[in-house]
Structure 1
Amino acid sequence: MPTADEQALLDALLGRVGGTVIDQLDAALAAAWTLSSGLDIAVPTTGGTPGPFRPGHTALDIALDQVAARWGVAPRARTLVEKAALLEVLVRGIVAKRTGGSSGTSDTPDGTSAGTLEWAVDLSTPRLFDDAASGYRSTSWNTEAGDARSTPAWPPPVVDAPGGGTAVRFTLPHRGKRIEVEPNHRTFGGSGEAWFGFQFLLGDGFPLWADDWRVIWQLHGNDTDPPRFALQVRDGELRIGDGWSLCPLAVGRWYQAVVRAEFGEGRMSVWLDGRLVGDRVGVGRSPTPYYLKTGYYQSSALPGGTLYQRGHKLGSGYGAVLA
């Protein structure tokens, strides 16, 4: 049985409360705020208060001001857009906490075997960025500058990583556009699927809150720029390449990402730290085969930054690609 607060949220979302659409939205937002106050949901913000804020530690009016700033409207305008944006973040957070809590429910794919490992990078490989079998291909599109003064240094170094171990460090200068690597494995397409895993950390100075695209992983095909079958960081969030919001991110911590790509229907499923954060159909369909590129690729209008990655794997199941 749902609690009274859960029932109030369901009733508002299903239009069972009286009044106008705005009244129903207000009721849903109030119920979601109450429910989320005890769940430690971090809500990304921009504007006057540094994000993230958490329900129960921030007044709802302040939260709405921050969402208004995020969407570029006047504080306290209380538009449908800012209310709906905050409601979406809260409902996603509530669902994630409920499904990943003490009930033991897991978002790891039900009935999916560990699969087999097909390819994995070895960061100790000699000539790692020069077509090594367990490394990366050397191509003319590994780097790209936004102007003559912003050419990234190649190759990206393997360094002692924050928190221990080693990782590839990708650094873009101001107005730099691309420093990526292409794992030396097969291409993809048709009606099949593939599983990918890697770890990433956004370094100090990474422009987390910039409202423009920054791709950190992509299946590159003949579709759009920025690519749609991709993971990007924008406005404090991890997003699928078509702009679909997944979850908030933070600078200075490691994340474990797993991606399942189903090419027949253009479906992309994303797990972060063991939790399913997105499952989207129709992300992209390329008439040419996809190949994986990973690293740091962004709009040349953005400042530079640093990103760390390690543990790139390709396999046939979730367990096989965990870094």
Structure 2
Amino acid sequence: MPRGLTRTVVGIVLVFLLAGCATGTRSSSGNGPSSGPTGDGVLWRAGAQSSTVLDTYRVTPWNTDDAEDPTAVASPDVPGRAAVEYTVPGGGTRSELEPAYRSFRPGDDYWFGFAVRLADGFPVDTSDWQVIAQWKNSGDGSPPLSIQVHGGRFVLEGGEAIGEHWSRDIGPAVAGQRTDLVLHVRFSDDPDEGSVDVLQDGREVVSDYRPRGGTLYPDEVSYLKTGLYRSSDIDTDGTLYYDDVVIASTREAASELATAS
């Protein structure tokens, strides 16, 4: 075979080999490991076993402050399944974990499912801020989007870091009871583009809500954190359990949270 033709054939073969390798690789955008799509719309899901559930999260030292580290325990709601327990003592501040998934950027469209139990004695009626999930911005300050518990309610809040604080009621928060929350978030720093839908225990309670500060901050990305982050002025111990957490591409996938049935 002529030398020039040989080089051409080798080059073509290399191109196809490299293309095949690229096809088999899924990027997590430089944010650590993440579970790949399962084919049913689930993009990431918390582990189900006590020995591995914490491995599905990104553990970082700054996510525990004057509190116990999150622990894997038997789910109080789903026999045979693990849950993550988060406890913050009175006067404490933070016990959180980050799902090992990529950050969220303008134009992203995701569904999130949370199966959360506020333990008996959880201070649901506090008037102080108390975050149980947040899409934390990459910069400083309060997040553009969070789920809080105060005044006996689950509440969406955000925007404070850019002087556009907003708040939207979700529904009742009851200690000693599991609640399933499913959120649909379109990520944008444009209030006309960023929106949130919420279902509580299968019932739509917030529809196409467009926060005046958007769902992202300008020139920043956000990443999900679950657990308990609250004012140190709260003097009552607080414990909550996450039976399941799902990041998905469809409402159906995010809504299929672990149950005892």
User: Quick check: TM above 0.5?
Assistant: yes
The 4+ residue runs of structure 1 with deviation greater than 6 A are none
The residue aligned with 1:272 is 200
| In structure 1, C-alpha distance between the alignment counterparts of 2:83 and 2:154, rounded to whole Å | 20
In the TM superposition, what whole-angstrom CA distance separates every residue of 1:260-312 from its partner, at most 9, and x where no partner exists?
11013221211111111123212432222111100111111112211111211
Question: What is the CA RMSD across the aligned residues, in angstroms?
Answer: 2.1
Structure 1 gaps of 5+ residues are 1-113, 145-150
| In structure 1, C-alpha distance between the alignment counterparts of 2:225 and 2:177, rounded to whole Å | 22
Tell me which of 227, 231, 240 is aligned to 1:299: 231
The residue aligned with 1:120 is 45
The residue aligned with 1:251 is 175
CA distance 1:316–1:251, shift in 2 (3 Å): same
Q: For residue 62 of structure 2, what is the amino acid of its counterpart? A: W
Q: Does the residue aligned with 1:190 lie in a helix, a strand or coil?
A: coil
Structure 2 gaps of 5+ residues are 1-38, 158-165
Of Structure 1 and Structure 2, the greater helix share is in 1
| In structure 1, C-alpha distance between the alignment counterparts of 2:151 and 2:70, rounded to whole Å | 28
User: Displacement, 1:126?
Assistant: 3.9
| In structure 2, C-alpha distance between the alignment counterparts of 1:160 and 1:316, rounded to whole Å | 26
Kept after mapping to 2: 8 A contact 1:217/1:293? yes
Tell me which of 155, 176, 180 is aligned to 2:92: 176
TM-score normalized with structure 2 length: 0.70
The residue aligned with 2:113 is 197
Kept after mapping to 1: 8 A contact 2:248/2:254? yes
Percent pairwise identity: 31
User: Displacement, 1:140?
Assistant: 2.3
TM-score normalized with structure 1 length: 0.58
Q: Tell me, yes or no, if structure 1 residue 281 matches structure 2 residue 210.
A: yes
In the TM superposition, what whole-angstrom CA distance separates every residue of 1:84-110 from its partner, at most 9, and x where no partner exists?
xxxxxxxxxxxxxxxxxxxxxxxxxxx
The residue aligned with 2:244 is 311
| In structure 2, C-alpha distance between the alignment counterparts of 1:163 and 1:192, rounded to whole Å | 32
Of Structure 1 and Structure 2, the greater strand share is in 2
Kept after mapping to 1: 8 A contact 2:137/2:221? yes
Kept after mapping to 2: 8 A contact 1:156/1:171? no
Kept after mapping to 2: 8 A contact 1:119/1:314? yes
User: Displacement, 1:142?
Assistant: 1.7
